[in-house]
Amino acid sequence: MLIVVALGGNALLKRGERISAATQLKNVQTAALQLAKIAAQHDLVIVHGNGPQVGLLAQQSVEKSGISLFPLDVLDAETQGMLGYVIEREMSNLLSAERSLATLLTMVEVDPADSAFATPDKPIGPIYTKTDALTLNRLKGWRLAADGTGYRRVVASPKPQRIVEIRPLRWLLEKHVVLICAGGGGIPVVVGESGQRTGVEAVIDKDYCAALLARELGADLLVIATDVPAVFADWSKPTQRAILQAHPDALDSLSFAAGTMAPKVNAGCGFSRSTKQRTVIGALDHIEQMVNGTAGTSILPHAAGITYKTDESKLDGAV
């Protein structure tokens, strides 16, 4: 079975944790332990998030004058190499010597007319206080939006249209190579009238990119691993309920947080609708159970409406 795993940035760096090499390594090692269990039995493609990491690089890449030294597409490429290397290294320490792994820098084409360029909403980087957010807006021209009790920088997040390196990815999968690719949603590029590609100032949502990649590769399962055990209706309200399984159309009637769960649900629904295959969303720690169908929230094209978890439910990872 071919499985595409979208590994959330929040799964690699817990909310509130300070970004550092040691913290990043600890979280990658935790993720690698879970992913290696899947790679031992299935063909595996890993798409990781990069929100905290690319935001930090962007912050470090701004001169005192407010001028950015490197655009976001270049910083996206940096995070692909940085995180891909660490994930590949740690997984290679867990898998048999005969199993090959490869990290591939991956460009993803986007539409230059995408409305996202006019309405940035993708959060990146650390959480700031309101005072710091106002200062950054004034000095650097950054757009910042509320995120919990603080504020984060938001940038354009256009929808992915095409995976540029899809052919070499298919070649590697034919050899059963564990792939780490399209990190951070891919390096965003646009194609000009002459056919030349140019990088753009944006960060692509990794869940939408993982769903596109899963469709183009003919994946049997899309796993979206994050830092919560399931998709919840009425999240953070007294009426919140964990969803065990749902038809994509049934999920359309519910509302989810725009910057967090909504992209995951929308990406999963899109994949399941177009391929008739299962998507599962849940916690990284339960990834083996998610693959087996005993944890997380499964999006199924043949499901009848929405099934919620009850106290009698036996799915270990659903609460």
Both tokens assigned to 61: 């890449």
Q: Looking at the annotation, which residues are catalytic?
A: 9-10, 122, 206, 264
Instruction: List beta partners, residue 279.
Output: 222, 299
Which of 16-20, 100-104, 118-122, 271-275 bottoms out in mean pLDDT, i.e. has the lowest? 16-20
Tell me the pLDDT tens digit for each residue of 59-79: 776 655 565 678 889 999 999
- Determine how β-strand 187-191 pairs with β-strand 197-199: antiparallel
Residue 62 is predicted with a pLDDT of 66
- Determine how β-strand 232-233 pairs with β-strand 178-181: unpaired
Instruction: List beta partners, residue 298.
Output: 245, 280
- At residue 81, φ and ψ (nearest 5 deg) are -65, -45
pTM of the shown model: 0.89
Task: Collapse the DSSP code of 210 into the 3-class scheme (helix H, G, I; strand E, B; otherwise coil) and give the result.
Answer: helix
Count CB-CB contacts under 10 A for residue 176.
Answer: 14
Stronger pLDDT, 142 or 243, i.e. the higher one = 243
Stronger pLDDT, 82 or 60, i.e. the higher one = 82
Stronger pLDDT, 126 or 16, i.e. the higher one = 126
Residue 10 is predicted with a pLDDT of 59
Count CB-CB contacts under 10 A for residue 32.
Answer: 22
How far is residue 143's CA from residue 56's CA, in Å, rounded to a whole number? Answer: 15
| Identity at 176, one-letter amino acid code | H
Q: How confident is the model at residue 314 (pLDDT cuts 50, 70, 90)?
A: very low
Q: How confident is the model at residue 123 (pLDDT cuts 50, 70, 90)?
A: confident
CA-wise closest residue to 22 among 101, 103, 85, 86: 86
Does residue 156 contact residue 86 with C-beta atoms inside 8 Å?
no
How far is residue 185's CA from residue 17's CA, in Å, rounded to a whole number? Answer: 22
| Identity at 116, one-letter amino acid code | A
Residue 9 is predicted with a pLDDT of 64
Percent of the chain with pLDDT over 70: 92
Looking up tokens 């199924």 gives 300
Does residue 72 contact residue 54 with C-beta atoms inside 8 Å?
yes
Residue 57 is predicted with a pLDDT of 81
Most confident of 116-120, 199-203, 213-217, 260-264: 213-217
pLDDT score of 312 more than 60: no
